[in-house]
Amino acid sequence: MIGRLRRVRAAMLGLNRRNHAYLFAHNPRDRYRIVDDKQATKTALRAHGIPTPALRATCDAPWRVRELGEGLAAADDFVLKPARGAGGAGIVVIVERRGDRFVKASGAVIRRRDLEAHACDVIAGAYSPGGRSDALLVEERLASEATLAALAYRGVPDLRVLVFRGVPLLGMLRLPTRRSDGRANLHLGGIGVGVDLVSGRTTHGVMRGRRVDAHPDLGAPIGGVTVPVWQDVLVLAARAAEAVGLGFVGVDVVIDARHGPVVLELNARPGLTIQVANRQGLRPLLDAVASMAVPESASERVRVGQRLSAD
């Protein structure tokens, strides 16, 4: 047992090593501005033919908030996002309109003036690093395909794929819960579920650092579920990492019921809970990719990652 724990510890990537050996070495500083601004990310991805949620409107000035509210008053569903927000902070998902009120993914009911107040907070920099002024994005609301939707509480699950030098190495399904207010972010209370890179089947779940085998709100088992179009998800993640020019990046993909796999956003500083969810350390995988000649084709890079994961 002690020997096994030592091997696991040796294989796990820590934050300091992630920062110094991978973020600093493989992520050019000038590329961070693309990933840290969701509107710039959309532009870069769409230039490479990579699908993202449709952008319906933007608002970057307080005097435009009333006009924004008038436009939202006629919409049935949408997503509000700070352009420079991180970790899911400031995201509001509206799933239904009831007269002059709106229903969030969590089931809470809010008014138009609440949305306008939130827009003012976003523009003032309440959710951006350093409190810098920001812009509010209004996106279409994605609808998860049925298999994964059955595992999520009042929200859209997404798939985090960790990519190094264009090679997908680990995958994780992120599930919304009641605690996370219908959002899939782990630090807000979502569940991370490992996904076998070869088969696309879910494995182990983790929530707030603890193992979970079933969704706490739905009671549904979270292991042994095959992710639809898994190969397409991996290829899309590999292409997205290449499009933004980052060597070490987390790519978040939603399998939409209408559009198929869509890149939700990218994270230039991806967390490392994905190792716990997969019970697999990143260091041997990263070392292997760092020492090889990486194929140009995204499909070939996916096969490289799957072979390493299987080994």
The pLDDT value given to residue 129 = 83
Statement to judge: residues 231 and 306 lie in one domain:
yes
Statement to judge: residues 111 and 245 lie in one domain:
no
The pLDDT value given to residue 5 = 60
State how far the Cα of 177 lies from the Cα of 181, in Å rounded to an integer.
Answer: 7
Please give the residue range of the domain that contains residue 73.
55-139
State how far the Cα of 248 lies from the Cα of 164, in Å rounded to an integer.
Answer: 5
| Buried/exposed 285-305: b ≥16 CB within 10 Å, e otherwise | bbebbeeeeeeeebeebbbbb
State how far the Cα of 19 lies from the Cα of 3, in Å rounded to an integer.
Answer: 27
Statement to judge: residues 34 and 98 lie in one domain:
no
Mean pLDDT in order along the chain per 10 residues (311 residues): 66 91 90 92 96 95 94 93 87 91 90 95 91 92 93 92 97 92 83 96 93 93 96 98 96 96 95 93 94 95 95 83
Rounded to two decimals, the pTM is 0.92
Statement to judge: residues 193 and 304 lie in one domain:
yes
The pLDDT value given to residue 311 = 83
Domain tally for the chain? Answer: 2
The residue from 110, 139, 168 where one domain ends is 139
Statement to judge: residues 115 and 194 lie in one domain:
no
Statement to judge: residues 148 and 201 lie in one domain:
yes
Statement to judge: residues 129 and 184 lie in one domain:
no
The pLDDT value given to residue 4 = 59
CATH number at residue 219: 3.30.470.20
The pLDDT value given to residue 1 = 57
Closest CA to 32 of 264, 249, 185: 249
The residue from 116, 139, 162 where one domain ends is 139
The residue from 101, 117, 139 where one domain ends is 139
State how far the Cα of 28 lies from the Cα of 48, in Å rounded to an integer.
Answer: 19
Q: Is 244 helix (H, G, I), strand (E, B) or coil?
A: helix
